[in-house]
């Protein structure tokens, strides 16, 4: 088993936790950086990719973004912006000497990749693996509202009432949101999910609320104006787009990225929701590893 190293990076007067699997080698294989979702989730589920360090002799770096997990912080709503998290990624790359890398991002992490490529230039990034991300908050919202219309009428009513009154509480609302997330977000493999996916974690509720909003279909936070569809052509990094057949990232959203990003490839995974690398782990790795090797050159 590959060596696991944990540590903390100073950031904005606080600290960012990181976890490194494997050791850096002069083998021509750039490390893989993992950007988790949320904002406000944690690195935990990426531990399913620890095997890649051994199977591909490649270093894997994952971290808890400021505001969650082992980097937990709240009481600072002014921090929960795109620039904060992109600055953190830049700082981590500098701190760990990651001049060259591949980057995988899931959900919000996929959004980060798009913004990083367009706004920061993504110098030294060999390839992206955009896993269930999106290029447009308004498109994400539109697709969410469309899917709500497929739910039982009482659940539609509960969600629509919450959206109208901005009162996101109550048993009926909670039950409707839980059903929505079960359809499009929960692990497809259910109770068979590995320990790293089910262990208790300290989520960043404030980071999510102020960064995104109260739920997946109502972007009201600092990322509500995240709109890059018309700029996807500016992304020069080869991009592997992955999404699940029953994913918060609907096929329309994934195809929008595939159509707009030059030198991209899209895989729509059957038997998968919002975490393809968990739900279809073995098959996912059979695609991920050759993809990175192809673009190391």
CATH architecture of 4-137+189-296: 3-Layer(aba) Sandwich (3.40)
247 assigned to active site: yes
List the catalytic residue out of 107, 127, 131, 272: 107
102 assigned to active site: no
- Rounded to the nearest 10 degrees, what angle do helices 137-148 and 251-260 cross at? 160
Q: In the prediction, which pLDDT does 191 show?
A: 85
List the catalytic residue out of 36, 43, 102, 274: 274
- Low-confidence residues of the chain, pLDDT below 50? none
56 assigned to active site: no
Q: In the prediction, which pLDDT does 1 show?
A: 84
List the catalytic residue out of 247, 250, 264, 279: 247
How do residues 2-60 score in pLDDT, each as one tens digit? Answer: 999 999 999 999 999 999 999 999 999 999 999 999 999 999 999 999 999 999 999 99
């Amino acid at each position: 088993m590959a060596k696991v190293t944990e540590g903390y990076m100073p950031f904005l007067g606080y600290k960012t936790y990181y976890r490194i699997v494997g050791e850096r080698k002069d083998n021509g294989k750039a490390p893989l950086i993992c950007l988790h979702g949320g904002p406000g989730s944690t690195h935990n589920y990426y531990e399913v990719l620890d095997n890649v360090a051994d199977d591909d002799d490649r270093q894997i770096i994952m971290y808890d973004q400021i505001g969650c997990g082992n980097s937990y912080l709240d009481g600072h709503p002014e921090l929960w912006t795109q620039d904060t998290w992109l600055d953190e990624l830049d700082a981590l790359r500098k701190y760990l000497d990651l001049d060259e890398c591949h980057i995988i991002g899931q959900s919000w992490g996929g959004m980060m990749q798009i913004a990083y490529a367009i706004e920061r230039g993504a110098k030294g990034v060999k390839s992206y693996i955009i896993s269930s991300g999106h290029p447009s908050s308004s498109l994400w919202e539109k697709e969410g509202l469309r899917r709500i219309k497929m739910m039982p009428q009482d659940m539609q009513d509960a969600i629509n009432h919450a959206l109208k009154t901005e009162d996101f509480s109550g048993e009926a609302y909670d039950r409707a949101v839980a059903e929505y997330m079960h359809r499009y977000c929960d692990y497809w493999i259910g109770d068979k999910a590995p320990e790293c996916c089910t262990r208790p974690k300290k989520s960043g509720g404030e980071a999510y609320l102020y960064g995104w909003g109260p739920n997946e279909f109502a972007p009201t936070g600092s990322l509500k104006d995240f709109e890059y569809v018309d700029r996807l052509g500016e992304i020069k990094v080869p991009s592997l787009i992955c999404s699940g057949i029953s994913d918060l990232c609907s096929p329309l959203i994934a195809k929008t990225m595939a159509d707009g990003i030059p030198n991209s490839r899209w895989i729509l995974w059957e038997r998968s929701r919002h975490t393809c690398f968990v739900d279809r782990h073995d098959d996912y790795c059979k695609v991920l590893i050759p993809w990175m090797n192809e673009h190391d050159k």
